[in-house]
Structure 1
Amino acid sequence: MTVHPSLQPYVDAWTHSIEAISELVVPLAEGEWNRATPCPGWSVRDVVSHIIGIETEMLGDPRPIHTLPRDLRHVVDEFTRYMEVQVDVRRHHTAPEMTSELEYTVIRRARQLRNEKRDPSTLVRGPLGEQVTLELATRLRAFDVWIHEQDLRTALGVPGNLDSPGAHVVQDILLAGLPKVVAKEAGAPAGSAVVLDVHGPLEFMRTVRVDAEGRGSIDGTPSLGPAVTLAMDWETYVRLAAGRVRPHAVADRIKAEGDQDLADAILRSFAVTP
């Protein structure tokens, strides 16, 4: 029996990205596992450790009992503490240990997903122990592995897969967070509109509209006379919205027209991932 049709796109995206990650890291020399990634405080080894850890939790494996060091400056709240445990417990694992565990975890998870018979609305355990639907959990795993695939590609200098199945999942999730950025975080005035124009491997234009009550919504209809138009390439959009880079570092890749103060406020709040 195949998985439910609503889960299949996310399973396909996850599979594509996780296999790409394996292909990236299997040939690495020991020293290359220590390369810094765009994730604060995380090396290539740490990103792979995070992926292994979360996938084993999705399999129902118990979390390791582990006390974190006190000098990890990137661990700042309960969420980052939770995520760091699976990473720090593997910090001294060798390259063969990492690739072997990754391979075994991928085999187990692929089998689990292939044999998934539960309804997409079934509640399962999500990060930090909260209950989420199976569909959302599967969608978020597709999102996470693609984002981390790109982190690894950046660290290793091997660009690619910017238009893969996972990229489309990421596009939908990041865009869903844009109305809050514009209307709430940046405080765009009621009745205004902000246009996002993205080009490159994925091309799209979206308009965020702020209603009379200050609530934001997003659609694909062009706006006449928007307060702000932001144009950038897809890779820059992902890096900004996923919190991998600050606006000033990619200013030469962003074109902002209209109210510059509002544009700056939007860009300062652009990251929508934890």
Structure 2
Amino acid sequence: MALVPHAAQAATGYPDPRPITGQQIIHDPTVARLKSGGYVAYSTGGIIGARLSKDGRQWDDAGNAFAEPPSWWYEYNDTADPWAPDLSYRDGTYWLYYAVSSWGSNHSAIGVATSKSGRPGTWTDHGKVFTSERTDTFNAIDPAIVRADGRLWMSFGSYWTGIRMVELDPSTGKAEAGATVHHLATRPDAPYAVEGPYIVKHGRHYYLFASHDACCSGVNSTYKIKVGRSTSVTGPYTDSTGTPLLEGGGDLVLEGHGRYIGTGGQSVFRDKGEDWLAYHYYDAEDDGTPKLGLNVLRWTKNGWPVAR
């Protein structure tokens, strides 16, 4: 991506997102550079809302991933409203994971669809990957895929004691039968406000990014992005002080500053040898409208990510 980090720094030391034009409104973005050229971003909103860009600067509305909601979505949401997609590529196929649920409930499901091009309107849905019920202590939303040592894993979770992980069958993209539900991160006190995990490999470590505190309240949102790392994809994850993420640890990567309120719903993507952080923020100069934030991630000598 021909992206140049925005040099201006806020007084707090957190960087502003790089300037973009066109359709900036987005929530919970997942971004990728397509094999065919250009970029796509999918998000919460619509039937998995889509944006396309030729250069990563000008973004255009591209409709939705699906023309119609798969019928099974209505089991979890009266309006078939999907949340927090995750886009990945492996074995010549794009995989789009997403969640369907309703606010304040862990009667939730994660689904998956595939496409050869990754473009909106080309997706075939394959149904449920993993589910949670009201009797569970976790919430099956906010999926994110990572490969580790030849195996495929999905992190997920929101409140309900935090971030979890299950192993997937690479052939189907769905949870292994009887898969162990690993526990990766939580907060010390209810409501355990951590969600939206995303894991990337850098060097010998796996890095777990997660959104802490509250989203979805416009300029009153308190979302912030934190990170911890582990030499094993299933943890334990700790921050730079050694505090476990299972005990509320996490180094701040990005939080609200200036007009950019409630930074979170993040994902990470590679482009031309660099890691980029994609997230939404609530624009204090536009009535708290959620918009796309993009910042390059640099890595310190000690191996910690820093947004630039």
TM-score by length of 2: 0.28
Higher relative contact order (CA 8 A, sep 6+): 1
Q: Larger strand proportion, structure 1 or 2?
A: 2
TM-score by length of 1: 0.30
Q: Larger helix proportion, structure 1 or 2?
A: 1
Greater C-alpha Rg: 1
